[in-house]
A and B are shown apart, each in its own frame.
Chain A
Amino acid sequence: MKYQSQKVAYAYFLVAMGLFAIQVLGGLLAGWIYVSPNTLSELLPFNVVRMIHTNALIVWLLLGFFGAAYYLVPEESEREIFSVKLAYLQLIILVVGTLGAVGSYLVGIHGGREFLEQPLWVKFGILVAAVIFLVNVSLTFLAGRKTAITNILLMGLWLLCLLWVFAFINPDNLSLDKMYWWFVVHLWVEATWELVMAAILGFLMLKLTGVDREVIEKWLYVIVATALFSGILGTGHHFYWIGLPGYWQWLGSIFSAFEVVPFFAMMSFSFIMVWKGRKNHPNKAALLWSLGASTVAFFGAGVWGFLHTFHGVNYYTHGTQITAAHGHLSFYGAYVALNLAMFTYAMPILRGRDPYNQVLNMVSFWLMTGGMAFMTFTLTFAGTIQTHMQRIVGDYYMDVQDQLGLFYMMRFGSGIAVVLGALLFIYSMLVVRREVIKPGSATVPGE
């Protein structure tokens, strides 16, 4: 650790991993309810379980991003964070807000804009936390060295915080509501988060491979350019059937087809950088997660998204288990695995230890990735059958669902693998330890 204030990231990563555990356990319960529908049906209905599953995911990924920013901005800017106290204050607000949201869901207080179900006071809390964050990292950034990595990272984080404003706008007209809702949801995961992802990936490549900064930064700009060029108008692939003009079917199809490009570029980028890199970095697990994240992101977000992005296909597959398959693999590859890559890289340094427990960490990678891949396949098969029976033959929803029990059982099995992998990951991060590294030694290999 070069700068003392980077230590803030440690607290963020801890909370993020706690929520990660809650998220996967919630997912496992939801998967079990598909197999055995009467489970907890009166005590904890499916809609509440799902809210906890999705909301915990979003919050822990954001905490991971914030933590990553607090870790890498000082190092890139070559100075301490503007205010460590503000950073902790921000974390406290987010933790109180998250616990408040979960508590209110459990007693039946929630909204019905998917993913934005938080009570209003929690939404304000998030806004305040976001403002604190932006002030804090921006002042750090402005006072220090400016690099492409921090440029892109901050641009992504600024835009994602600005888009949060649409969480407060809820038009009475359902179609308007849906259109502006996608301003948060799509423009987060398919535009601004991609900037954050590319920046963090670039940082990891810089540290792990030792390739020249100049080369990495140039390609970062190319990658994020393709992300925004395709992603902004690619929002159109959500505008097909919610009451918007028909031209979105063409615009959405064309631009979202290009959304494969940034993910392919990120995958190629990370492999080429590793191939060109001369450095033999000791943290092999971080390298595995980085390469894994960009590869699974390409399949989950790129290929599985492409699979049903054309409006002629989407007309039949929209809102079936195919959407669920795509959603799971893309979130896992692009954002979960990337965050875990960052944790794996930074945690040993933050704790002043050797990058030890590598084997356990790599086992957790394969358990989780294998589990998610299997889950994606089963849901894709289930979705294909559902599409045919429901959308083409015209059988009713529940009749079709009754035919899919076998797939839901297999999906639950893959969920167990994912949960085991996640718990093993947290264990390998926090519990297993080896020698303490003396301050000032070469724990952070140069660029």
Chain B
Amino acid sequence: MSELLTKSRARNVFYGGSIFFVVVFIALTIQSHHYIVNTSTAGMPLTEEVILGKHVWERHSCINCHTLHGEGAYFAPEVGNVMTRWGVLDDPEGAFEMLDGWMQAQPSGIEGRRQMPFFEITEEEMKALAEFLRWADQTDTQNWPPNDAG
């Protein structure tokens, strides 16, 4: 064993193999990039409003309570499919009204219930956030989550 596997052979296997896997990974990443742009997120155009909504989402660090497509904190509900859950996936006006109504009512102050902070968000930004969530909801996520509960 020790003659077959010398230190320099082990080192060469490590370097050679790693380079091989890096190359495969890069090739698949390029293919995946194209797939995302042209297929899986093509359900709805990536408009200025959706992009603004993403920044609103980021600025308030929503990800540190909620999950989005299953990633984030596990303190508050999944929002990747929230527009489906609310039944407003194809209704921009209804989506805005639901979201705005919900956000204005926070924090609920109910004892023993998790509290969502109140965020200073303009109407334009709130519309953008609703559009962003509708956009995210239309991503082809390989049928995840298993049901509307998220």
A residues at B contact (CB < 8 Å): 33-34, 36-38, 41-42, 45-48, 50-51, 110-114, 117, 148, 151, 170, 172-179, 214, 217-219, 221-222, 224-225, 228-229, 232-233, 235, 238-246, 248-249, 251, 315-316, 318-321, 323-324, 390-392, 394-398, 401
Contact = CB atoms under 8 A, between A and B. Distances in A.
Contacts of A316: 146
Given A111-B61, A173-B36, A248-B32, A235 B41 contact: no
A233 B23 CA distance: 10
A113 B64 CA distance: 9
Given A37-B112, A176-B33, A243-B40, A319 B117 contact: no
Contacts of B132: 174
Contacts of A172: 46, 50-51, 54
Contacts of B13: 221-222, 225
Nearest to B145: A391
A45 B107 CA distance: 11
Contacts of B41: 173-175, 243
B33, B60, B74, B115: residue with the most chain A Cβ atoms closer than 10 Å: B74
15 contacts: A45-B115, A46-B65, A170-B58, A174-B69, A175-B139, A235-B25, A243-B40, A244-B35, A245-B40, A318-B145, A319-B74, A321-B74, A324-B74, A396-B77, A398-B113
B104 interface: no
A396 B57 CA distance: 22
B91 interface: no
A221 B5 CA distance: 11
A232 B18 contact: yes
A217 B7 CA distance: 7
Contacts of A219: 10
Nearest to A392: B146
A251 B32 CA distance: 13
A319 B78 contact: yes
A151 B148 CA distance: 50
Interface string B109-150: 101111101000000000000001001100111101111111
Contacts of B139: 174-175, 242-243
B113 A37 contact: yes
A248 B25 CA distance: 11
Given A38-B115, A233-B21, A398-B77, A47 B62 contact: yes
Contacts of A42: 107, 115, 117
Task: Return the 8 tightest CB-CB contacts between A and B, nearest first.
Answer: A112-B58, A319-B70, A47-B64, A41-B115, A241-B144, A221-B10, A397-B77, A225-B14
A173 B142 contact: no
A249 B37 contact: no
Contacts of B70: 241-242, 318-319
Interface in B72-102: 72-78
B34 to A, nearest CB: 9
A228 B72 contact: no
A323 B45 CA distance: 32
Contact of B71 (A224, A232, A242, A397): A242
Interface of B: 5-7, 10-11, 13-14, 17-18, 21-22, 24-25, 28-29, 31-33, 35-37, 40-41, 46, 50-51, 54, 57-65, 67-78, 107, 109, 111-115, 117, 132, 135-136, 139-142, 144-150
Nearest to B85: A396
A216 B104 CA distance: 61
B74 A320 contact: yes
B147 A391 contact: yes
A225 B72 contact: no
Nearest to A37: B114
Nearest to A170: B58
Contacts of B36: 173, 175-176, 179, 243-244
A47 B7 CA distance: 48
A240 B6 contact: no
Nearest to A54: B64
Contacts of B61: 47-48, 51, 110-112, 117
B74 A218 contact: no
Contacts of A114: 63-64, 71-73
Contacts of B71: 114, 178, 238, 242, 319
Given A112-B60, A221-B10, A228 B114 contact: no
A297 to B, nearest CB: 20
Contacts of A229: 17-18, 21
B142 A246 contact: yes
Contacts of B6: 218
B22 to A, nearest CB: 6
A256 to B, nearest CB: 13
A203 B112 CA distance: 50
B62 to A, nearest CB: 6
A38 B18 CA distance: 49
A248 to B, nearest CB: 7
B14 A179 contact: no
A148 B40 contact: no
